[in-house]
Structure 1
């Protein structure tokens, strides 16, 4: 069968959690929920499809700070305990909600078995094994998910090198592509990427004025940008609608508070929680097949239209946060499996980003504007009036970080400087401004950003004053006095452009 075109699925895993020595922040519950409900079933689904002889199924991005959490011994013990608690919660509901309890027992015990078989030694072995089968391409990124356009070029390069080095350390090779945090771009970033050995990155479709049919060189560089096709992506989930809102799927927001389980189906968008109907796995399974067929029809129609417009085979890229599949949308992993099985039968080639580029799906150079995938597709979420104080504080953090350059010896690593650099990278995370702009755990975001920025200012001041013993005494009281990125070497700041 001749193909109508090529489809790329891109999933990006990221949570606004930061490493602490021996433990993680208050939000570790977020990590365990996403791990149990998304990362375990999505990886298991891709492994099952690979065992059927299917290759180049998806392109996966895992931010370095999340990769560190997925490998951390404390987190591994914590999620294993959490999985056991999930099963116990299912059993506790058996007398009141027998059908739901039986479903949750099956799902939780399957998750525990998946973890024990493939994740006990961390996320990196699980991801590396999946990549080595040829099922996925792995993307890298800057160390702690900063909004790169707002960074000093020297800090930006340092953060990217640190993140790429972390990826190589955990996964056995430097990635060719990255998911640029928040799909943030400023003209000239492509030269930073080329210098770091990055050959491709993702942008949001409006940055290309919706012309996402091919990967394109950026400016006069050889670095390619690949655009997220919103016409296809928004079929699944958009700011206003998508499959997870269908009446048959499990409702994310309705809780059985004694057990912590979710007993209801969506039923209707305006139906209050107390009037929602009980969740039915059978009804949801039928909806999965219906919506998978609809999505495949959408992809085929889109690719045919693009081929007619461009006169050549075209590409469509659907890109999502991984947490949509399983965490926010309980049936999401089953839907992914159905789609990835149906697409080839419909004449669609499924490829990774690298595979699509190797197939020659590359167009003419393009000049990209300032952009992101946030509200307005510009920088307002991370640089708007609501977060002006964050921008100013981040400028101070960067000045303190760069002040280290004149204090560092070149012949030996400085643990205090490394710790300061690690704290600075965390302070510069894009998550803090996003959470404030969107009023999502805004107080948590403000406190975390202020904590890291304050530590950077204090430690930088002590080091500039030559008060190393005072700095050692002060950092000894920090709960996370060991850098998240153990390979981080502050001397590398001197290598920044």
Structure 2
């Protein structure tokens, strides 16, 4: 065996149910569901039918899992899939080849959804040949949270995974790979055995898992990960792949290929599926060779077989990179044929030979600069201050009104606080993506926390109940504020 390779995918979208349409809100969810989640699940079932076991490690953020099980989201996505097929038919007179391609994709998505997803994602996830990772409930940037709130969100997320899939995850992908020294002790106390960090947190020494206190950390191998996708390059930008940003505005379909990085949309060439398929085969072979060379070099350097972990957002495969699922399938078949062991993080860590020496991790993330600037920098100073206020109001009110019986009003307060603390809002602002939407969402949840806390502090429970009755249901009906 040349070494061990683990593919880790992290599935996440912010809580968007009932919160608007294109270009944000539920449209995000429908697109990712149709183009990534459905196709990934179908691909994994095919690999399982071929005898594949422990194919990859998959994280699904609890707040996304809640949406994938939500009846409203299920109904709306089913309707969206039907609309996608209808849009393909409408495009046929002007774009016959593209319309036929989109019709086949939409038909396959409808079949997959109706055959496997009508009761939500949880039954689907239970049957996949993967290790499921857990994580905090609403994807906050953990290093900036009060320890009580951080622990509450993590334990809620882990319980949510048990509720949906029947088993408690042993590993987590902390949101944004955010880490502060000492968090490993909290992980151990919550029953977490391993977590992912970005490679620079280990100074690039990612060949083995490393003990951090009583927990193992696994580093993302950027040498192979960046072969696929990096801040500047990667396979999805090849000229033959479908262009994500160019639309046929009459139907919303994407009829062009990348063509070139500086080619304006109206000059891009038409997308050709056969041409893209040939490039998928080429890039799968290239990646297989890259992983093999990396593991061979690590084995020679360390004198024993080593580990390489490539980690990505799930949404890259299918949603952002149309050909991504086909590339994944080709790679996961090719790597074992090249003498490389493919397994999950859990499977890799069962081998003591893949565990190295203890390490002290620095403050880190997988964002720009590999530090905290995206979530704590000057452009989001107002959100950092807002998050501090939300946490203070939450903890003060819960401590004042604490009861031995469960209080649905305190539960609503905690739910809105967790949604306000999502890392997505700062990320969108720092990266200049839908800034107004992000600030509006953060402020909306924070204002709800402030209003509800004021009513509870004054004992005006009837008014508090009337207020919360106007809010959309919490993604976590089993949330219990007494755990704070």
TM-score by length of 1: 0.95
CA distance in 2, matches of 1:128, 1:471: 39
The question of 1:301 aligning with 2:299 is answered no
Hey, what does 1:244 align to over in structure 2? 236
The question of 1:67 aligning with 2:65 is answered yes
Matches within 5 A, 1:49-68: 49-68=47-66
CA distance in 2, matches of 1:86, 1:17: 23
Deviation string for 1:36-91 (max 9, x for gaps)?
A: 00000011111101110011111000001000000000100111111111111111
Deviation string for 1:193-231 (max 9, x for gaps)?
A: 00100111100000000000011111xx22000000000
* Equivalent pair of 2:398/2:410 in contact (CA under 8 Å): no
CA distance in 2, matches of 1:74, 1:405: 31
Give 5+ residue unaligned stretches, structure 1. Answer: none
1:110 is aligned, of 108, 114, 123, to 108
1:363 is aligned, of 341, 347, 356, to 356
SS of 1:407's partner is: helix
CA distance in 2, matches of 1:476, 1:363: 53
CA distance in 1, matches of 2:200, 2:325: 28
* Equivalent pair of 2:14/2:424 in contact (CA under 8 Å): yes
CA distance in 2, matches of 1:268, 1:350: 34
For the structure 1 residues 248 and 463, does the alpha-carbon distance in structure 2 shift closer, same or farther, using more than 3 Å as the test?
Answer: same
* Equivalent pair of 2:133/2:171 in contact (CA under 8 Å): yes
Deviation string for 1:261-285 (max 9, x for gaps)?
A: 1111111111111111111111011
SS of 1:366's partner is: coil
Deviation string for 1:10-34 (max 9, x for gaps)?
A: 0001012345xxx454410000000
Deviation larger for 190-199 or 304-313: 304-313
Shift of 1:185: 0.1
CA distance in 2, matches of 1:215, 1:288: 31
CA distance in 2, matches of 1:461, 1:424: 14
Hey, what does 2:148 align to over in structure 1? 154
The question of 1:207 aligning with 2:198 is answered no
Hey, what does 2:411 align to over in structure 1? 418
TM-score by length of 2: 0.98
Hey, what does 2:458 align to over in structure 1? 465
Shift of 1:423: 0.2
* Equivalent pair of 1:17/1:28 in contact (CA under 8 Å): no
Deviation string for 1:327-366 (max 9, x for gaps)?
A: 0110000000000000001010001000000122111100
Matches within 5 A, 1:168-317: 168-218=162-212, 221-317=213-309
* Equivalent pair of 2:16/2:29 in contact (CA under 8 Å): no
CA distance in 2, matches of 1:492, 1:428: 18
Hey, what does 1:487 align to over in structure 2? 478
Shift of 1:108: 0.8
* Equivalent pair of 1:186/1:371 in contact (CA under 8 Å): yes
CA distance in 2, matches of 1:214, 1:158: 30
Hey, what does 2:388 align to over in structure 1? 395
Question: How many equivalent pairs are there?
Answer: 480
Shift of 1:141: 0.5
The question of 1:375 aligning with 2:375 is answered no
